[in-house]
Amino acid sequence: MKPDAMINGVSMLSLGWLRETVNFPTPQSQSNTITVPGRNSPIRFTEALGRVAYQPRSFDMTFSMLGNRADYNLLVSLVVNQFAGKLCQVTLTEEPMLYAVGTLETAPSYDPLTGKGTLELSCTDGDAFLYHVEETVVNFSGGGTVILANDFMPVVPVITVAAETTLRWTIDGEFFQKTVSAGTWEIPELELRHGNNTVSITGEGITTFTYREGRL
């Protein structure tokens, strides 16, 4: 399979572009330190809010084609008009189950001596996390205990209940309990961490948890 990139579901290969290089470095953490006179170690605020926050993800991709200038201009136009300066979802063939989100900028270049044209797509404001293409949906019937598996990105699920339901869970040793009526809810305190998250359910009918997982 030839390497490709899907942008908002559109294959660059199908447009006539060959992917040459791709660079998706890991985003850097939002770190802040204060040097205090007399202390041998600085005060670090990287995890000041209890977790590490990350700077925007930057990435770039380079595509090429061989042909005359008119063909090149047409291929550039197809990409620029659809994606330049727009917030896009980008998926690579190497990781088809993940996508990045960011604003794309374009930089075209054509060499008339070789008939080779290139197009660089770059992003400097991407979301730090890569998202799962498919949302995770967990249905649980009646009362009991449900296990919600989650990737590395913390996420708050959307909860849909068919009748009045009481939810109980523990995060970092702190116990939470919430009773909700029939409907759809987001409970900020019910934040899923990496791994298996246990939630106890008291109620009747089907309780549905929907969330999109992510990772760096």
Does residue 14 share a domain with residue 115? yes
Q: How confident is the model at residue 40 (pLDDT cuts 50, 70, 90)?
A: low
Tokens 């998250």 — which residue?
Answer: 197
Considering only the C-alpha atoms of the chain, give the largest distance between any 2 of them, rounded to a whole number of Å: 73
pLDDT digits (tens, 9 = 90+) for 108-124: 999 999 999 999 999 99
**Is there a single domain that holds both residue 110 and residue 153?**
no
Q: Are residues 66 and 144 in the same domain?
A: no
Quote the tokens at residue 87.
């917030």
Give the pLDDT score at 107: 95
- Rounded Cα distance between 168 and 179, Å, is 9
Say if residue 167 is in the same domain as residue 107.
Answer: no
Residues 96 and 148 both lie in one domain: no
State both tokens at 13.
């290969």
What is the CATH number for 183? 2.60.120.260
Rounded distance between C-alpha atoms, residue 187 and residue 166, angstroms: 12
Residue at which a domain ends, from 132, 152, 178: 132
Quick check: 42 pLDDT over 70?
no
The answer to whether the beta carbons of residues 28 and 54 sit under 8 Å apart is yes
pLDDT at 17: 95
Specify the CATH number for the domain of residue 88: 2.40.30.200
Q: Residue 94 has which token pair?
A: 């190497």
Total tally of structural domains belonging to the chain: 2
Domain span at residue 182?
136-215
Residue 30 pLDDT > 80: no
Structure token digits, residue 54: 């990350």
pLDDT at 63: 96
Contacts of 174 (CB under 8 A, 6+ apart): none
pLDDT band for 203, please (50, 70, 90 cuts): confident
Per-residue confidence at 31, pLDDT binned at 50, 70, 90?
confident
Domain boundary among 88, 110, 132: 132
Mean pLDDT of the chain: 91
Q: Domain boundary residue among 90, 105, 132?
A: 132
At 99-157, the pLDDT tens digits run: 999 999 999 999 999 999 999 999 999 999 999 999 999 999 988 999 999 999 999 99
* HEC letters along the chain: CCCCEEECCEEHHHHCCEEEEEECCCCCECCCEECCCCCCCCEECCCCCCCCCECCEEEEEEEEEECCHHHHHHHHHHHHHHHECCEEEEEECCCCCEEEEEEEEEEEEEECCCCEEEEEEEEEEECCCEEECCCEEEEEECCEEEEEEECCCCECCEEEECCCEEEEEEECCEEEEEEECCEEEECCCCCECCEEEEEEEEECCEEEEEECCEEC
